Structure 1
């Protein structure tokens, strides 16, 4: 049992079930990120925890206390919204302490709490301003301050950075991470941005179609995705997934697939259990960083497979150069060093780290396990 328990939680609107038997146990002090595309059910689940949506079936509990029918104001939960939801006619100080005032907290105690939070978030110089005089990043800090000052059991963040520009998003991501490390509070955070999910979380729940597709650490999600959806949703650029066939040669399974010229190439697997799939179709998954040049290949890997293939497109990206080639009839992206000598249309000697390759069942799209 976790600090926050979501047990077989479902949500239906009439006959349409939009959230299906979600089971997640969140430990105290954990940073859980719910990530997925629009309409996957992540915000609905967050709203059910907050009490803004009812639970159709199943339970949500905090510290063993079922809160399904508890009013939102009685759940000791603080929520930070995408829109900030600040009162425009109030100062920053009034916005932060308004909730405490409504709960009858004495003025001296409110003042101490305000001072602590303002220093923590470095907004003490903004306390007399109104929201209209603040930048997006400053408004977000005020919204976070209003949540922090209440000292809740659980913090809920609903896509809090989506209204900020790219640089400010990165800065605020770092601030939220620092805040969690400093306070050690339980956080449930919703985003559609997989970079936010990977950098902020201690665990990630990847959602799609109202189901939790995979629940695990960022490393688990990235290195061992449960299915093709998780593999392609998490990672930038996305994992390359292409059709292949398993061929066993000298007792060792290989991925057989066509290169840019239509010639069959064999890439040796490091997973012996795939020998049971001899002659069968699979989907081969390879991350872009596992496709590189021989000098840039992982020195710790015991299975770097050579592949000579024609380069389709090159994309310089500062610290990296991305190279696209045709493999298995699909575009496959490799991540090269910035100074890699690559040119569109040329034949190139790639190095494929097959230790990182993953095979998926083309029927179920699930990862093929031992």
Structure 2
């Protein structure tokens, strides 16, 4: 049993089921991120934890106690919204302690809690200002302060950074990460941004179509996606997915994929992967951009780097890297090369492919081939 248990929970609106049977157990101090595209059910699940949406079937328990019939105000949770939801007529200090005041906490205790949180979030100089005088990042800190001051069992974040510009989003992401490491609080965080999910979480639940597609650590989800949706959704740039065929040559399994000139690229799988039993099987091969690079930039610790000569379609300098595109299996494939590699569109260039990082999917079911 976890600190927060979601047990076979579903949500339906009439005949439409928007969240299918969901089981997630969250330990105390964990940072779980619910990530997925709009309409996947992640905000619905967060609202069910908060008590803002009723559960159709199943149960949600906090610290072993079922939340069935428990009002949001009695769940000892704190929620940070996308819209900040600050009172414009109150100053920052009043906004932070408003919930404590409504619960009858004496003023000396409110002031002590307010000052402690203001120091933690570095907003003490803003306590007398109104929300209209603050930047977006400052407003988000105030919203977080209002949640922190209550010392709840669980913090719920509903896309809290989506209204911020790109640089401020990165800065606030770092602040939230520091805050979690310092306070060891239990957090459930909703976002559609997979970079936020990978950088913030201790575990990720990738959602699509009302189902949890995969639940695991950031490394597990990134390196070993359960299906093609997870493979394509997580990572930027996303995983390359292209048709290939497994063949067994001299007792070893290889993936064969067509190059732009119609020739086969032969890519041997590592021996321990066991793909020999799938001889002749059509697959979708998945490779992250960092597994496709220039020869000198390849992983020197890997025993399964194989070089193919391929036509360069596009090069995209990106500061610390150069992204280089070619064709495999009739699909555009992007590799992450070193910034100073002398590579140009139109030339044939050696691409080093690390097959230790390759994953294979069934083209019909889109599930991982083990």
Equivalent residue number for residue 49 of structure 1: 49
Equivalent residue number for residue 199 of structure 1: 199
Equivalent residue number for residue 228 of structure 1: 228
CA deviations on 1:330-360 (whole Å, 9 max, x unpaired) are 0000000100111001000110000000011
- For structure 2, the 5+ residue unaligned runs are none
- For structure 1, the 5+ residue unaligned runs are none
Alignment RMSD, CA only?
0.6
The CA distance in 2 between the partners of 1:341 and 1:115, in whole Å, is: 56
Structure 1 residue 276: Cα displacement: 1.3
The CA distance in 2 between the partners of 1:79 and 1:260, in whole Å, is: 52
CA deviations on 1:200-234 (whole Å, 9 max, x unpaired) are 00000000000000000000000110000001100
The CA distance in 1 between the partners of 2:367 and 2:302, in whole Å, is: 25
Aligned length: 369
Alignment of 1:248-327 (within 5 A): 248-270=248-270, 271-327=272-328
The CA distance in 2 between the partners of 1:262 and 1:77, in whole Å, is: 59
Structure 1 residue 136: Cα displacement: 0.1
The CA distance in 2 between the partners of 1:304 and 1:177, in whole Å, is: 35
Equivalent residue number for residue 90 of structure 2: 90
| Partners of 1:9 and 1:20 within 8 A in 2 | yes
Q: Per the alignment, in what secondary structure is the counterpart of residue 137 of structure 1?
A: helix
Structure 1 residue 274: Cα displacement: 1.2
Q: Per the alignment, in what secondary structure is the counterpart of residue 101 of structure 1?
A: helix
The CA distance in 1 between the partners of 2:19 and 2:284, in whole Å, is: 28
Equivalent residue number for residue 60 of structure 2: 60
The CA distance in 2 between the partners of 1:111 and 1:265, in whole Å, is: 68
Equivalent residue number for residue 368 of structure 1: 369
Q: Per the alignment, in what secondary structure is the counterpart of residue 300 of structure 2?
A: coil
Structure 1 residue 280: Cα displacement: 1.3
Equivalent residue number for residue 78 of structure 2: 78
TM-score (norm 2): 0.99
Equivalent residue number for residue 164 of structure 2: 164
Structure 1 residue 146: Cα displacement: 0.2
Structure 1 residue 362: Cα displacement: 1.0
| Partners of 1:252 and 1:272 within 8 A in 2 | no
The CA distance in 1 between the partners of 2:216 and 2:281, in whole Å, is: 30
| Partners of 1:325 and 1:332 within 8 A in 2 | yes
Equivalent residue number for residue 182 of structure 1: 182
Equivalent residue number for residue 216 of structure 1: 216
CA deviations on 1:265-291 (whole Å, 9 max, x unpaired) are 210011542111111100000000000
Corresponding position: 1:23 with 2:23: yes
CA deviations on 1:230-289 (whole Å, 9 max, x unpaired) are 011000000000011111001111111100111112100115421111111000000000
Structure 1 residue 6: Cα displacement: 0.2
CA deviations on 1:64-96 (whole Å, 9 max, x unpaired) are 000021000000000000000000010000100
Equivalent residue number for residue 358 of structure 1: 359
The CA distance in 2 between the partners of 1:283 and 1:277, in whole Å, is: 13
Flag as ranges the 4+ runs of structure 1 deviating above 4 A.
none
Structure 1 residue 48: Cα displacement: 0.3
Structure 1 residue 297: Cα displacement: 0.2
Equivalent residue number for residue 119 of structure 1: 119
Structure 1 residue 321: Cα displacement: 0.2
CA deviations on 1:105-135 (whole Å, 9 max, x unpaired) are 0011000000000000000000000000000
* Residues 1:121 and 1:272: Cα distance change in structure 2 (over 3 Å): closer
